[in-house]
């Protein structure tokens, strides 16, 4: 059966819905409100995310600053980021710390921090040394040399000699005494200080870095636990030290490993290139004309055994070099024992020194300053 046009719909059928204008307007308004709500939520979320990111950035910056602080000595006049030579990275940088009191010119301690020759940040850490020595009337020049990835030996010694020449060339400007300069450092930095002392006046090791025409000789050296004969390190490591060293540096043969610090310094395996080892050893150059040297080493050093300092002391004493050796019982590979915040048994040996240091004197920065007073002609 067919329905007539205009007749009511038959039972059981549905007529299509035709929206009214009012319904269409209400739906459009609802859509606009939803769009505005979504846009507002997006704006608020974006602002909150940006604010949170800003807070996190500040927190990260703060934490980084706390993780690696450089706390400058309050009783010093400070001149940072001087360039003694145009070298890659941070190498060639020097920081100068001058006593806040006194008229000068001030005697100088040139300090470089150790890293197994693996860092060009040797100037960082000089502020800790300056905190003690500026109070004793000494200026401290902390400087960085090239690491073993940037250049192999003798580049590090050439850089150090350039730093000494730069100090002399700028002594008047910086109010420093060019006739009273000592070298000091810890670990590989102590090796640099010792090499400066024993190779003074040797043109073949002068290099062509930085300022020329000035002397690179130093009047005294202070050596904290420096390596001196790379081929004898392993056999004198204290029990468990080589195992720990291997774990820490992912090595197999401790200091004899071709990937260890000493082989990287000379650019070849120390086991197969003994002539390069000899060239990089301060023992090779010791003679009676070397400047007075103070050696300090702890008996519990897990990185460089104290036998390395015993070798240097014996060679210097036999050669006629003025030398004092402070053997600090229980101290490790950290020159913090010079702060003398706790009593530590110390055995002092000396040769060719006047005055002679007491045999059981505990090492401190005041003792070091006194040693320099006596032997830099102050």
pLDDT in tens, 239-264: 999 999 999 999 999 999 999 999 99
DSSP 231-261: GGTGGGPPTTHHHHHHHHHT-SSGGGSTTSH
Regions of the chain with pLDDT less than 50:
1-17, 47, 49-68
pTM to 2 decimals? 0.81
Q: What is the pLDDT of residue 35?
A: 65
User: What CATH topology corresponds to 76-229+281-375?
Assistant: Rossmann fold (3.40.50)
Q: Tokens 């001058």 correspond to what residue?
A: 98
Domain ranges of the chain: 21-69, 76-229+281-375
Whether the ω angle into residue 355 lies within 30 degrees of 0, i.e. cis, is yes
Q: How far apart are CA 176 and CA 106, in angstroms?
A: 5
Which of 98, 184, 172, 238 lies closest to 365 in space, CA to CA?
Answer: 184
Beta-sheet strand order (sheet of 176-186): 76-83, 93-99, 139-143, 106-112, 176-186, 220-224, 293-298, 323-328, 346-351
293-298 and 323-328 strand pairing:
parallel
Q: What is the pLDDT of residue 45?
A: 58
DSSP 3-state of 330: coil
Kindly give, in sequence order, each residue whose CB lies less than 8 Å from that of residue 180, ignoring residues fewer than 6 positions away.
Answer: 107, 108, 219, 376, 377, 378
Could you tell me the two tokens for 134?
A: 């500026």
Q: What is the pLDDT of residue 264?
A: 98
Could you tell me the two tokens for 96?
A: 């100068």
């Amino acid at each position: 059966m067919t329905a007539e046009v205009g007749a009511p719909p038959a039972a059981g059928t549905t007529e299509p819905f035709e929206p009214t204008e009012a319904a269409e307007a209400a739906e459009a308004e609802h859509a606009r409100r939803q769009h505005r709500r979504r846009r507002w939520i997006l704006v608020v979320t974006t602002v909150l995310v940006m604010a949170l990111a800003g807070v996190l950035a500040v927190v990260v910056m703060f934490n980084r600053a706390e993780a690696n602080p450089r706390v400058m000595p309050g009783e010093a006049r400070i001149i940072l980021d001087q360039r003694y030579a145009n070298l890659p990275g941070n190498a060639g940088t020097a920081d100068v710390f001058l006593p806040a009191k006194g008229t000068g010119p001030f005697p100088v301690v040139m300090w470089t921090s150790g890293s197994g020759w693996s860092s060009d940040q040797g100037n960082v850490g000089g502020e800790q040394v300056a905190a003690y020595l500026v109070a004793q009337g000494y200026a401290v020049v902390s400087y960085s040399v090239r690491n073993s990835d940037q250049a192999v030996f003798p580049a590090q010694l050439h850089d150090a000699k350039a730093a000494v020449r730069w100090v002399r060339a700028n002594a008047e400007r910086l109010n420093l005494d060019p006739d009273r300069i000592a070298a000091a450092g810890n670990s590989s930095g102590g090796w640099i200080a010792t090499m400066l002392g024993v190779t003074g006046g040797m043109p073949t090791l002068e290099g062509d870095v930085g300022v020329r025409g000035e002397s690179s000789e130093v009047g005294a050296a202070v050596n904290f636990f420096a390596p001196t004969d790379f081929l004898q390190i392993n056999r004198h490591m204290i029990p468990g030290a080589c195992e720990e060293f291997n774990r820490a540096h992912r090595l197999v043969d401790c200091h004899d490993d071709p990937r260890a610090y000493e082989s990287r310094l000379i650019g070849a395996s120390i086991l197969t290139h003994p002539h390069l080892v000899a060239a990089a050893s301060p023992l090779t150059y010791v003679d009676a004309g070397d400047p007075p040297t103070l050696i300090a080493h702890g008996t519990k050093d897990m990185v460089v055994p104290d036998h390395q300092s015993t070798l240097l002391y014996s060679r210097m004493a036999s050669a006629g070099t003025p030398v004092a050796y402070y053997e600090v019982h229980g101290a490790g590979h950290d020159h913090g024992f010079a702060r003398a915040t706790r009593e530590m048994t110390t055995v002092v040996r000396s040769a060719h020194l006047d005055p002679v240091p007491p045999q059981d004197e505990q090492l401190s920065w005041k003792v070091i300053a006194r040693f320099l007073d006596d032997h830099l002609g102050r």
